[in-house]
Amino acid sequence: MSKLIRLHYAPDNASGIVRLALEELGLPYETVLVDRSQNAQQSTVFRKLNPAAKIPALETPDGTMFETAAILLWLADTSGRLAPPVTGPERTSFLSWLFYASNTLHANLRMTFYPQKYVGDMRAPQKALLSGARANVLEGLRLFESNAATGQLWFNNPDNLSVLDLYLCPMLRWMALYPKQDTDWFALKDWPNLYDLAKRIETRPSVHTLCQTEGMAARPFTNPSPPRPFEGVAL
């Protein structure tokens, strides 16, 4: 990749996952703030990059991309790192878990952060949605916790860092922080294998850069605190 990559981001959003991958790959890139305080993700300009009006969007030499898992997979495949080879025997399981993280875990987390976007402002439907979404998140955590013990699927394997590892750790952070004043249902230490993964990943230089650029304190995954971003606003 000889041309510059441009990441459209907001602090402590899913764009941070992409930033981690870019840092791990050592790729040159620029960042462009999507100012959520101004609802910039809904702007006509941003919708040209991401018609779904969600963060992130990534401008690449091959065109503009959106959807976190798609971006991660493109970065891994074009670089030949952070994922099993396309024709390798581990590829099928890896893809299944990557898209489970995206389509189930991340999607249900988003419902807990923004229930009003799914069911409106009525409290009873929001409460029902929150209950169901968290049940799905807990089931996902059980599955990942069980499989984290094996280190066999390019996940929680010190010899094979993957985009799946980079995807999961920020989500573990968000579970502990958001929505504000409503996180008693989750404690990372209840999931020891996932805790070990988060502890290992947060020592990496890529995470140090994430913290520096997005205003996060040290130990952003195992001992998270609300960010103090230098620009823009978080979740």
Domain locations in the chain? Answer: 91-203
Is pLDDT above 60 for 1?
no
Cα separation, 215 vs 34, in Å, equals 16
CB 55 within 8 A of CB 66: no
168-208 confidence digits (pLDDT tens): 999 999 999 999 989 999 999 999 999 999 999 999 999 99
pLDDT at 92 over 60: yes
CA separation (Å) from 83 to 89, 90, 91, 124?
12, 9, 8, 42
Q: What is the pTM of this model?
A: 0.96
Confidence of residue 36 (pLDDT cuts 50, 70, 90): very high
Distance, in Å, from the CA atom of 94 to the CA atom of 111, rounded to the nearest integer, reads 25
Query: What Cα–Cα distance (Å) separates residue 218 from each residue in 45, 87, 187, 188, 211?
Result: 34, 38, 18, 16, 7
The domain defined by 91-203 folds into: Glutathione S-transferase Yfyf (Class Pi); Chain A, domain 2 (1.20.1050)
pLDDT digits (tens, 9 = 90+) for 60-89: 999 999 999 999 999 999 999 999 999 988
- Looking at residue 100, what is its pLDDT? 97
- Work out whether the CA dihedral 125, 128, 134, 139 comes out positive or negative: negative
Is the separation of the CB atoms in 117 and 53 below 8 Å?
no
- Of the listed ranges 40-44, 60-64, 157-161, the least confidently predicted one is 157-161
- What pLDDT is recorded for position 202? 97
| Phi, psi of 117, deg, nearest 5 | -75, -15
